[in-house]
Structure 1
Amino acid sequence: MFFPRSEPTAAMKTLLADRLRFSVSRLFRSRGRALWASALVSVLLVVLAVPARAEETGGGNALAREMLLRADRIRFPDQGFRVDVTITTTQPGSEPEVRAYRILSKGNTRTLVQTTAPAIDRDQILLMRDRDLWAFLPNLSQPIRLPLAQRLTGQVANGDLARANFSGDYEPTLLRRETIDGETYQVLQLDAVDKWVTYRRVIYWVNASSFRPFRAEYYALSGRLLKTARYQDFKSLGGAIRPTRLVIDDALRQGNRSILEYSNMVERDLPDKVFTKDYLKKLVP
């Protein structure tokens, strides 16, 4: 486990510099040696300033970025993979709605999401390339461009399936540490790198020792909490122990919930041609 190194404060640096000047001046009495001592102090001050500059330029967030990347690798493979997702949505006074999808993904820039249930929607496909998301529908000759933040089903946005990794889309910052049920978590604030990502801000709990994701809160540009998510049922999936169940609760409409269950994950070498219109023609009769 990694912890950020404690850096000297400005007051500490000033005090240390004064002590250095005093000590060195006692050692070097002659004019020539005094000049050499002054140069030595200048070099030491530059060395002391390096950690502060690293902090100002984001070096202090290295731990946050490392934790975010490792949590992403626990959720999904780094390379190409296929996985099936079943989404069950419930809301007060209504029967549960079940939808299923097959996802082909390559990193965080190429994703194909094909609806597999219900049967009436089986030919609907989402194709993501970089941050462009397109919907291919059998009754339309041309694809429709969609935003990642648009609702796909229940509490699930398009980007929750098409662009599920946080790395690259958000700049992480360490907020605090929390202990929950005897486990220690690092709480990260994830700020969107541009306006095209799914959420403007995410607060993310990551286990401090195992790097497993624990929960997330998703916020709108206005700062309003949209929904919360909990990662559950860690099991062997796709060659690693991963969360196989994600529970998303609507923060605006109490009792509205979507449960995502992941299965049949297989790592695959997916060429770029898979994520093209020509390939989609092979999937849709």
Structure 2
Amino acid sequence: MEIIVTRHSGVKVANGLVSVFLALIGLFSHAEENALLAADDAMARNIVEKADQVRFPAEGFQVEIGVSSTQPGQAPELRRYRVLSKGNSNTVVMVTEPASDRGQILLMKGRDLWVFMPEVSQPIRIALSQRLTGQVANGDLARANFASDYNPKILRSETIGGENYHVLELNAVDKGVTYQRVVYWVRQKDFWPYKAEFYSLSNRLLKTCKYENFQTMEGKQRPTRLVMEDALRKGEQSVLEYSAMKLRDLPDKIFTKDYLKKLE
């Protein structure tokens, strides 16, 4: 039996082979692109996780925070807090000054936040994004876990003052976190946070934060001064000063609503 391949059928076969070849190239290119994107996402998350570790220990710890908030033409408002935190997801924030507000306590478990006030019998559920004092939201003190709260991606690199920085975009995993979007500068050589811009759900810039005055606390250089400036009202800012950090073995019972009244 003789098989005759005409010129026309040969062209069809060749075209089919070319189509298959191009399709395979497309599949490989798509797979390579997905692999590169996955590697970029993993790198971005690693940067954010390391920056989280610079800011706070992963172990249980206690730290004192002083907050000075200023507005144009007004005297600064001074407040102090004691924070107990464990694993970046369980936190108690106690007001220590002014004396008139002592006894007020914030309790965070995961992304759930309650406030306890001595004159109210039951804790009240509140939002992480709600303002605590000045430019400081509840979540700024109660939860500083960027790695768990946001999906990060690397936008670009920048050189500032001779230092190289990663610039990342952090998008909230849901609407319950403190801010819906953050642009975050992290120094490349040691993962020190440098600056953050915080945005609303409508993508409006709310405020900026600078991480300053790095000092050794519990074995690591950490920012001890945060300067938060209102992006909408010029001259309004809050300065947070961190001090007396120490590691503590904090039992889980501390982070329960029933235990709040026992805290001093």
Counterpart-to-counterpart distance in 2, 1:280 and 1:141: 11
CA positional deviation for 1:165: 2.1
Name the structure 2 match of 1:200.
180
Q: Does 1:63 align with 2:43?
A: yes
After TM superposition, list the pairs within 5 Å mapping 1:143-182 onto structure 2.
Answer: 143-182=123-162
CA positional deviation for 1:54: 2.1
Counterpart-to-counterpart distance in 2, 1:176 and 1:121: 44
Counterpart-to-counterpart distance in 2, 1:196 and 1:172: 17
Q: 210, 213, 235: which one pairs with 2:193? A: 213
Counterpart-to-counterpart distance in 1, 2:122 and 2:251: 24
Structure 1 ranges of 4+ moved more than 3 A:
42-51
Counterpart-to-counterpart distance in 1, 2:263 and 2:42: 42
Describe the SS at the equivalent of 1:63.
helix
Name the structure 1 match of 2:108.
128
CA positional deviation for 1:270: 1.4
Counterpart-to-counterpart distance in 2, 1:218 and 1:47: 38
Name the structure 1 match of 2:231.
251
TM-score (normalised: structure 1): 0.81
TM-score (normalised: structure 2): 0.88
Whether the 8 Å contact between 2:123 and 2:257 is mirrored in structure 1 is no
CA positional deviation for 1:50: 4.4
Q: 28, 37, 53: which one pairs with 2:34? A: 53
Name the structure 1 match of 2:253.
273
Whether the 8 Å contact between 1:238 and 1:264 is mirrored in structure 2 is no
Counterpart-to-counterpart distance in 2, 1:236 and 1:279: 32
CA positional deviation for 1:61: 1.2
> Which one is further off, 217-226 or 58-67?
58-67
Counterpart-to-counterpart distance in 1, 2:249 and 2:207: 34
Q: Does 1:224 align with 2:209?
A: no
> Which one is further off, 270-279 or 188-197?
270-279
Q: Over residues 28-55 of structure 1, what are the superposed CA-to-partner deviations in whole Å (9 max), with x where a residue is unaligned? A: xxxxxxxxxxxxxx99998776432323
Percent of pairs identical after alignment?
58
Structure 2 gap ranges (5+) = 1-22
Describe the SS at the equivalent of 1:168.
helix
Q: 109, 115, 132: which one pairs with 2:95? A: 115
Counterpart-to-counterpart distance in 2, 1:81 and 1:123: 20
CA positional deviation for 1:267: 1.2
Counterpart-to-counterpart distance in 1, 2:75 and 2:26: 68
Name the structure 2 match of 1:236.
216
Whether the 8 Å contact between 1:227 and 1:249 is mirrored in structure 2 is yes
Task: Name the amino acid aligned to 1:94.
Answer: Q
Name the structure 2 match of 1:11.
none
Task: Name the amino acid aligned to 2:33.
Answer: A
Whether the 8 Å contact between 1:169 and 1:193 is mirrored in structure 2 is yes
Task: Name the amino acid aligned to 1:183.
Answer: E
After TM superposition, list the pairs within 5 Å mapping 1:30-45 onto structure 2.
Answer: none
Counterpart-to-counterpart distance in 2, 1:241 and 1:179: 21
Task: Name the amino acid aligned to 1:191.
Answer: N
Counterpart-to-counterpart distance in 1, 2:53 and 2:46: 11
